[in-house]
Structure 1
């Protein structure tokens, strides 16, 4: 029979072992790679620390909802049947907003509980802990249903709170690394943009002024020079848009909606037509290089609307399911005949098609004279390995 002293010694040994495992697990998680990979690894370890059936990690988006939500224990098929990730309501939101640990024997006992969506697996007990360092909230850990069927204990709570403290440091470290990488990229973009603006554009402006003077001094050249000046203005405008793209393409931080909103604002589309954007204000469902290509396609398409369509209204729609992201840009302009485009007019469309193919997507452009243009882009959503 085990004595009280032996029992206490065993408890201490178990706790020390758990702490050692926590430190090793978080250290491994911090080296997992991208922020999403680190979050998934932390959720995996949280499930093992307390031995539960279900674990999840949510990261707030600063607007009252969730930017990331990583789960363990719920199958892909179950997630597909549910249809969407939580949006930070009910008990999940309570932990996010109140930043306090929540331990429940029965989920339904708390008046803040909003229940589960259809097809959600049944869960009865909850242990939720905020992931914090100082006053900064990095995320929330949610555990449901111990594997032995017992309610969560004070020791479970202590272990998860301890784990959350280490997890906060791991997440902060990865975010800092990504921010440093973005800063280096942005500095390089700024340098290239400055060289373009201070060098090439100023030279083009000088050439343009010389052509203007030449046209004024010789009426015989008026027609040819007018066309040359128009072409030169087009080149300058294209480079301007390229510079704007370099300066703002911090794609790892932008949501789909903010990217489209910024594009339409920079192109000043609202000065010439009404603009409607129908897109979720959430991070894109693919990697930054793919999202960058999507934003560049949107910019090229919207530039064409501005320059050629004479439209009074343009609508940009972005939607997605589990496997495909789709963006539709539709205007009510004069339209065009795809077969009659010359080389210069068709270059932008060829760029769009090439970027789409590189990322395994599909592009469909429908246009008719007097009936506007509709561009539909589809990009596959690849699940992380």
Structure 2
């Protein structure tokens, strides 16, 4: 398009006999000039002029606002003239016409200093208007094409985001996908997602910024902010300069210039805010960009809601499957184990009456112990199945299982866990915290030992201290080989709430650590 405009301004100068000619194209959204082509000026003269007029002041501004030609014999005598900048060639005769397309002004064509010293004529004005119409059509077609391409990019971006969100991304990845794609489409220096806080403000939880995210994550908008009130009300906020706008209160505002803050809401529910700031000095967002970004935010919010609903359905399916497995384990396995145990107990009582069956009595006793241990482990497995896989456990039993599962990942073998008594209701929170600390230390020690293939964890809430007081006892046993740096006896630190004792074994044997506390 620039080559076309240059030909127009050169033809205008040649056909009207103007010594100087200039064509300025207005940037979308009243953002100054997008193009400035000249004829009759050398590069040195143009360089001395400096920045061209912004199209909204002086005679050029009058052409834009009045949308009518202006023909003057002496432009220096016209009160609308702003004077010439240093180094500008002296000019008197002036002919200016707006570049019009369907009553919309796209720019101006101005001609000065008719050769021969005479004024511009009505014929010159007619020629200038014809050339201005040609330039206006070229600019209008280019703008329409660019708008269509821009709309196409935003639509493709929204479709790509929807596809990505519905293919199984986590919540954090989904937010980053929205921020990253929006930043690229808007040609912004950063794309950030803010979410409401418990205090009533908003906090940046995700940021995509090629220049660095330092200071962005965790930045909050305090409750009561004018910007926050608009966002919470579902209204977008457009800022010409984030650094100087009085509505902005965040400590990172000085890093950015033009900015858009778009609420992410679907079905009347506010999910968060998408902010797209540009660097200081970058051009402001055009009306078309604001509209497209707002539509993108609406589609992204809907995609986030759909992705969250899909993940919830998948989690619900997992929970239902786990509940079914837990019921099957309880109704079939545990009941059969109990029935087998009852039969063995009956056989044991009959064998106890005959001294000749002493060996059988002992064997049955060991089988009963194994059955009881198996029942405890199956119950533990049932409890673990009933816990949400992604949520942090809140009960003491769940926290113990979480610790042992983490140790199992490091060991390559899942520790055996056994609970005795009502551990969730009988153990106070303070004691539970100390027990968990002791358990973590014991499991860490077990993972450092070589050859560990078995770890047993027992929590007994029915234990008693030597003085008869009720207590809870934690016991961790493993069969690992102690390192040379380890001592033969482990001693847990006294926390002030309970006491810790350890019994060491020879290298190659088992090691047991016991920790107990009064309830």
Q: Secondary structure at the match of 2:386?
A: helix
User: Is it true that 1:45 corresponds to 2:181 in the alignment?
Assistant: yes
- In the alignment of these two chains, the number of paired residues is 314
Deviation at 1:54, TM superposition (A): 1.4
Residue 99 of structure 1 contacts residue 130 of structure 1 at CA under 8 Å; is this kept in 2?
yes
Judging by fraction of residues, say which structure has more helix: 1
Q: Secondary structure at the match of 2:297?
A: helix
**Aligned equivalent of 1:165, options 291, 298, 305:** 298
User: Is it true that 1:140 corresponds to 2:273 in the alignment?
Assistant: yes
Deviation at 1:144, TM superposition (A): 1.0
Report matched runs for 1:209-288 at 5 Å. Answer: 209-217=342-350, 219=352, 227-251=366-390, 254=391, 259-262=392-395, 264=396, 266=398
Deviation at 1:141, TM superposition (A): 0.7
Structure number with greater CO (CA < 8 Å, separation at least 6) is 1
Report matched runs for 1:61-76 at 5 Å. Answer: 69-75=205-211
**Aligned equivalent of 1:313, options 431, 434, 455:** 431
**Aligned equivalent of 1:368, options 490, 493, 505:** 490
**Aligned equivalent of 1:331, options 414, 438, 452:** 438
Q: Using the alignment, how far apart are the partners of 2:341 and 2:161 within structure 1?
A: 57
Residue 335 of structure 1 contacts residue 369 of structure 1 at CA under 8 Å; is this kept in 2?
no
Q: Secondary structure at the match of 1:248?
A: coil
Deviates more, 1:142-151 or 1:230-239: 142-151
Deviation at 1:169, TM superposition (A): 2.9
**Aligned equivalent of 1:174, options 307, 328, 332:** 307
Match of 1:191 in 2: 324
Match of 1:322 in 2: none
Match of 1:286 in 2: none
**Aligned equivalent of 1:28, options 140, 160, 163:** 160
Closer, same or farther: CA 125–306 of 1 in aligned 2, 3 Å? farther
Q: Secondary structure at the match of 1:22?
A: helix
1:41-94 superposed Cα distances (whole Å, 9 cap, x missing partner): 32222123322211123455888688983322245xx44x54x82265437966
Closer, same or farther: CA 176–62 of 1 in aligned 2, 3 Å? farther
Closer, same or farther: CA 335–122 of 1 in aligned 2, 3 Å? closer
Residue 95 of structure 1 contacts residue 129 of structure 1 at CA under 8 Å; is this kept in 2?
no
Deviation at 1:148, TM superposition (A): 5.6
Q: Secondary structure at the match of 2:256?
A: coil
Closer, same or farther: CA 291–106 of 1 in aligned 2, 3 Å? farther
Q: Secondary structure at the match of 2:389?
A: coil
Residue 176 of structure 2 contacts residue 207 of structure 2 at CA under 8 Å; is this kept in 1?
yes
Deviation at 1:114, TM superposition (A): 3.6
Residue 196 of structure 2 contacts residue 203 of structure 2 at CA under 8 Å; is this kept in 1?
yes
Q: Secondary structure at the match of 2:262?
A: strand
Closer, same or farther: CA 335–55 of 1 in aligned 2, 3 Å? closer
Closer, same or farther: CA 63–113 of 1 in aligned 2, 3 Å? closer
Residue 255 of structure 2 contacts residue 279 of structure 2 at CA under 8 Å; is this kept in 1?
no
Match of 1:54 in 2: 190
Residue 263 of structure 2 contacts residue 274 of structure 2 at CA under 8 Å; is this kept in 1?
yes
Aligned-pair Cα RMSD in Å: 5.1
Closer, same or farther: CA 111–166 of 1 in aligned 2, 3 Å? closer
Structure ID, larger Rg? 2
Match of 2:234 in 1: 99
Match of 1:3 in 2: 100
Q: Using the alignment, how far apart are the partners of 1:295 and 1:43 within structure 2?
A: 36
TM-score when normalising by structure 2: 0.48
Deviation at 1:236, TM superposition (A): 1.2
Q: Using the alignment, how far apart are the partners of 2:188 and 2:199 within structure 1?
A: 30
Deviation at 1:224, TM superposition (A): 5.7
Deviation at 1:168, TM superposition (A): 2.0
Residue 263 of structure 2 contacts residue 272 of structure 2 at CA under 8 Å; is this kept in 1?
yes
Residue 100 of structure 1 contacts residue 129 of structure 1 at CA under 8 Å; is this kept in 2?
yes
Structure 1, unaligned runs of 5 or more: 270-289, 317-327, 354-363, 375-385
Q: Using the alignment, how far apart are the partners of 1:108 and 1:197 within structure 2?
A: 66
